[in-house]
Amino acid sequence: MKRLISFLLLLFLSACTIAVVETPSVNLSNSTPTAVPENQVTLRSLADRKDFGIGAAVALGPLRRDRTYSQVLAGEFNQIMPENAMKFQALQPERDRFNFKGADDIVDFANEHNMKMFGHTLVWQRGLADWLKAGDWTREELIEILRNHIQTVVSRYRGRIYAWDVVNEALDTDSSLRELIWSRGIGPEYIELSYRWAHEADPNAKLFYNEYDPGGWGAQSGQKVDALYRLVADLKERNVPLDGVGLQMHLRLDDAPTYEGLKQSLERLAELDLQIQITETDVRMGYQGEPSPEQLQQQASIYKDLIQACLDVPKCTGFWFWGFTDRYTWVSSFMGQSGAPLIFDQYYRPKPAYDAIAQAIQAATR
């Protein structure tokens, strides 16, 4: 009954201002979000009991202007990371001129709501500033630019960010080392250097490597799993300060991994004595109009398989959604339609996927 009352309140707040997914919310940035009651069963309360991380990527605009977004975020998740506010271009739009306003807002929100903050991402082939892409840099100049960026950012949030995605997507689609400005200009050692610089800036922060595979790291992802294993094993052998691996899960209904296939991949990586987290999870549905009940159930089944595989591997310590409501999803702007990929619909109503996730966490024997 308590959950029903809270849900109806959220529905009322949303319905007052929401017409379609792209419609902006009423500006409530000056209002303090109402906390979810402590005795209400949420994903956060269930995960806290299991000492398990349940997280969501945060879009800065909705966080600032949509009160319901902030309420659900603080009530349902115990860790957050920024979608874009900590990428290179956002933080250093001009050389040696840093802009931390957006990142600070997200870090402050996490601290105010007793949520763990995960930094994303220090080194990536995208999200780079125009001045960096346009420059004709020597190797020494690129080393100094990357070192300065990493250490400036990590030092600023020392003690407030518990973990960082240091390097993101260093492997190409064919599992070779991706060609990007850092690998071309510095060499493959840019990866090792990045972790050492980040560790110098905050020795207590957990440092992760984050990677994408279109097959979702199941049985069909053998080549990519092999390449990822070799990469992180080599870093570990050379005593590079690497603490964990993130496996991205941007999926469709027709390309998701099986529970067995994903669990096998997780267990293999766990042999390296690293934390593993399932990251950037969304499951797109192809449809015209509203998704059918069958599609919603299929989506829920995929979500349950993903989190169940993580819960069943002790080294898998967290599960992340890339966003949490269909109202705000990167898929809309990137692909022209949302595909309703997340666990809350555009009106913040929990979908069958939400219930599947909650049931899996509640039943876990961690």
Q: Annotate 114-181 with DSSP letters as a single string.
A: T-EEEEEEEE-SSS--HHHHH----HHHHHHHHHHHHHHHHHHTTTT--EEEEEE--B-TTSSBPP-H
Look-up of token digits 């090792």: 192
Instruction: Of 133, 122, 57, 55, give the one whose Cα is nearest residue 90.
Output: 122
Instruction: Give DSSP secondary structure letters for 244-313.
Output: EEEEEEEEETTSPPPHHHHHHHHHHHHTTS-EEEEEEEEEE---SSSPPHHHHHHHHHHHHHHHHHHHTS
Q: Euclidean distance between the first and final Cα of the chain, in Å?
A: 28
Rounded distance between C-alpha atoms, residue 80 and residue 279, angstroms:
11
Task: Please pick, among 76, 83, 169, 211, the residue that the annotation labels catalytic.
Answer: 169
Active site residue: 76, 83, 211, 280, which one? 280
CB 249 within 8 A of CB 306: yes
- Sorted by sequence, the CB contacts under 8 Å of residue 222 that are 6+ apart come out as none
Q: Is 260 a catalytic residue?
A: no
How many Cβ atoms from other residues are within 10 Å of residue 158's Cβ?
12
Cis peptide before 121 (omega within 30 of 0): yes
Residue 267 annotated in active site: no
User: Helix, strand or coil for residue 196?
Assistant: helix
CB 99 within 8 A of CB 74: no
Residue 324 main-chain phi, psi, to 5 deg: -150, -15
Q: Any idea what DSSP says for residue 193?
A: H
CB-side exposure of 97: number of CA atoms within 13 Å?
6
Active site residues: 169, 280
